[in-house]
Amino acid sequence: MSSLSSRNDWESYANRLEIRGQAFIDGEYVNAVSGETFPCLSPIDGRLLADVASCDTDDANNAVASARQVFEDGAWSQLPPAERKKVVIRFAELIEENRDELALLETLDMGKPIRYAKAVDVYGAARAIRWSGEAVDKIYDEVAPTPHNEIGMITREPIGVVAAIVPWNFPMLMACWKLGPALASGNSVILKPSEKSPLTALRLGQLALDAGMPKGVLNVLPGFGHTVGKALALHMDVDTLVFTGSTRIAKQLMIYAGESNMKRVWLEAGGKSPNIVFADAPDLDAAAESAASAIAFNQGEVCTAGSRLLVEASIKDVFVEKVVAALKGWQPGHPLDPDTQVGAMVDQQQLNTVLSYIGKGTDAGANLVCGGTRVMEASGGLFVEPTVFDNVNNDMSIAREEIFGPVLSVITFDTPEQAIAIANDTDYGLASAVWTSDISKAHKTAKALRTGMVWINHYDGGDMTAPFGGYKQSGNGRDKSLHAFEKYTEVKATWIAL
Ligand code: NAD
Ligand code: MN
């Protein structure tokens, strides 16, 4: 269907697109019980995309009741895995069939380049759903090594009602990493997208229904964190809460669970990932290209952004020069132009945060090597240049706090021990990368890094087969791979005397 090959094509598609802002509950689009809405503005040019239902406690109650009822009915939860598989795979196909619309919604809503909305977000979302569907009739339970006169069965069962609260940086992709295993396992789900990016999630509700999921199996509640997000997190009839977002809110969700029904809480939170480049890296040009994309891709709004570049002192000057040169290919452009690599920041608040960290870096005495300013302001959009600070000390706030924008901190080291110490000197533990030709140094460093993911001689690798998630204050539990199913099932031990 892709006659959409220019910015003009996408603009005219955008102008005729019908955008729904209602909540999706029990198989229908509905207004919030209160009738309240909030404006969904595009960060590309400030245009109003839709008035979106501002859900709250009453809507959460309705969605949880619907989700609970269908779970108890068994129309989904007790379907044979091979049957659920067919419907989940059909859901993935519908995402693929609607890829242009979904990519456009994502770009208009959160400002990312259309090429990546399609090639990364929509592609990855469909892949996550399909992979989970394909897996579900191939997962076996266990039989315990019992004495001759007993049988011990260890089985996994769907857990019930799952609330999924997701962020705005990869709205549909983060949702689908959770929806795949949650739905394939037989649960009912209430998806709460970020107030900054509700549009694709709302569309997914209809596609799931069209794929054959009974009503109530997937509900979508747009609205704010402190209203409908909190209502779900405190709900006495939500069994599991899965979350992707900031560490600050992740901690709050653990408190809500403790204050309510001790629902299981699984958290994918923030990061401040070290990208360690040794002088013996196999290809410094490739490492520099990779360091540039690790901070500029998705406007730096990536939980695994390579935001701390740790460079061996002997190559620092030449390497930083290469990174700055590579970043010339990562300058912001109009997100609907298919050639654009870097789009708009998600909203004014996020742009302000990024600019304020740039100010903090300068104030702390770091050396601004490139970038540092807002650009393309006349477009009415929220664009900022990729920014590099050199001479950063790991104690500075730009090295400790997650900026969630295209701001790179360069820190030098002399020995592998120093590199590891600096890399691990952080509250976070999501990802890290190591560049070296020395296989022994690569493995020793990888083992010493306290992160859920380690990349060697590349950045941001992995696919649905590998678990994704962090150590320390980057969270618990994993998305993707068969490990993700652990979050959506309870373990039952059934012991039989013969
Ligand atoms: P955020 O924590 O502000 O919000 C995330 C979600 O939580 C949103 O839907 C929001 O509405 C909701 N929320 C906010 N307050 C709430 C409350 N009191 N109760 C219930 N829900 C509440 O994060 P964000 O700004 O949307 O996303 C950026 C963050 O996400 C970054 O920290 C980033 O590192 C993280 N992230 C992590 C991963 C990962 O897999 N580890 C992936 C992507 C993004
Ligand atoms: Mn938006």
CA of 270, closest atom in ligand 1: 34
- The model's confidence at residue 421, banded by pLDDT at 50, 70 and 90, is very high
Query: Quick one: average pLDDT of 345-359?
Result: 98
The C-alpha atoms of residue 57 and residue 43 are separated, in whole angstroms, by: 29
Say if CB 183 and CB 153 are below 8 A apart.
no
Are residue 95 and residue 64 in the same domain, yes or no?
yes
Are residue 134 and residue 77 in the same domain, yes or no?
yes
pLDDT(1) > 60? no
> Considering the domain boundaries, does residue 1 fall inside one?
no
Are residue 265 and residue 278 in the same domain, yes or no?
no
Ligand number, closest to the Cα atom of 257: 1
CA of 165, closest atom in ligand 1: 9
Q: How many residues does the chain have?
A: 498
CA quadruple 453, 463, 4, 91: dihedral, nearest 10: -120
> CB within 8 A of 443, min separation 6: which ones?
none
How are strands ordered across the β-sheet holding 240-244?
28-30, 23-25, 218-220, 188-192, 161-165, 240-244, 264-268
Query: Quick one: average pLDDT of 121-138?
Result: 98
Q: What is the pLDDT of residue 3?
A: 81
Are residue 263 and residue 342 in the same domain, yes or no?
no
The C-alpha atoms of residue 72 and residue 161 are separated, in whole angstroms, by: 10
Q: In angstroms, what is the span from residue 268 Cα to ligand 1's centroid?
A: 9
Q: What is the pLDDT of residue 2?
A: 60
Are residue 192 and residue 100 in the same domain, yes or no?
yes
pLDDT(469) > 70? yes
Provide the mean pLDDT of the chain: 98
Q: Write the CATH number for 243.
A: 3.40.605.10
Query: Quick one: average pLDDT of 476-485?
Result: 98
The C-alpha atoms of residue 335 and residue 339 are separated, in whole angstroms, by: 9
**Residues with a known catalytic role:** 268
Q: What is the pLDDT of residue 83?
A: 98
Q: Write the CATH number for 356.
A: 3.40.309.10
Helix (H, G, I), strand (E, B) or coil at 214: coil
The C-alpha atoms of residue 493 and residue 142 are separated, in whole angstroms, by: 10
Say if CB 187 and CB 160 are below 8 A apart.
yes
Are residue 443 and residue 490 in the same domain, yes or no?
no
- The model's confidence at residue 88, banded by pLDDT at 50, 70 and 90, is very high
The C-alpha atoms of residue 216 and residue 208 are separated, in whole angstroms, by: 10
pLDDT(117) > 90? yes
Q: What is the pLDDT of residue 28?
A: 98
- In this predicted model, what pLDDT tens digit does every residue of 141-198 receive, in sequence order? 999 999 999 999 999 999 999 999 999 999 999 999 999 999 999 999 999 999 999 9
Ligand number, closest to the Cα atom of 479: 1
Are residue 207 and residue 331 in the same domain, yes or no?
no
Are residue 48 and residue 29 in the same domain, yes or no?
yes
* 256 CB neighbour count, 10 Å cutoff: 19
Q: Which of 43, 41, 64 is nearest to 51 (CA)?
A: 41
Q: What is the DSSP letter of 213?
A: P
Ligand number, closest to the Cα atom of 223: 1
- In this predicted model, what pLDDT tens digit does every residue of 298-336 receive, in sequence order? 999 999 999 999 999 999 999 999 999 999 999 999 999
Share of the chain above pLDDT 70, in %: 100
pLDDT(247) > 90? yes
Say if CB 494 and CB 152 are below 8 A apart.
yes
Are residue 433 and residue 292 in the same domain, yes or no?
yes
Domain that holds residue 104: 7-269+475-494
The C-alpha atoms of residue 407 and residue 398 are separated, in whole angstroms, by: 8
Does residue 307's CB lie within 6 angstroms of at least one atom of ligand 1? no
Does residue 251's CB lie within 6 angstroms of at least one atom of ligand 1? no
Q: In angstroms, what is the span from residue 24 Cα to ligand 1's centroid?
A: 21
Nearest CA to ligand 1 atom 9: 194
The C-alpha atoms of residue 154 and residue 143 are separated, in whole angstroms, by: 6
> Domains in the chain: how many in total?
2
Are residue 141 and residue 282 in the same domain, yes or no?
no
Q: At what angle do helices 171-184 and 81-97 cross, to 10 degrees?
A: 160
The C-alpha atoms of residue 451 and residue 469 are separated, in whole angstroms, by: 9
Q: Tokens for 122?
A: 């929509």
Q: In angstroms, what is the span from residue 459 Cα to ligand 1's centroid?
A: 23
The C-alpha atoms of residue 200 and residue 167 are separated, in whole angstroms, by: 12
Are residue 131 and residue 248 in the same domain, yes or no?
yes
Give kind and range of the element (H or E) at residue 292: helix 284-296
> Considering the domain boundaries, does residue 470 fall inside one?
no
Residue 411 — φ and ψ, nearest 5°?
-130, 135
Are residue 357 and residue 490 in the same domain, yes or no?
no
pLDDT(483) > 70? yes
Residue 259, judged by CB atoms within 10 A of its CB (0-12, 13-18, 19+), counts as exposed
Does residue 244's CB lie within 6 angstroms of at least one atom of ligand 1? yes
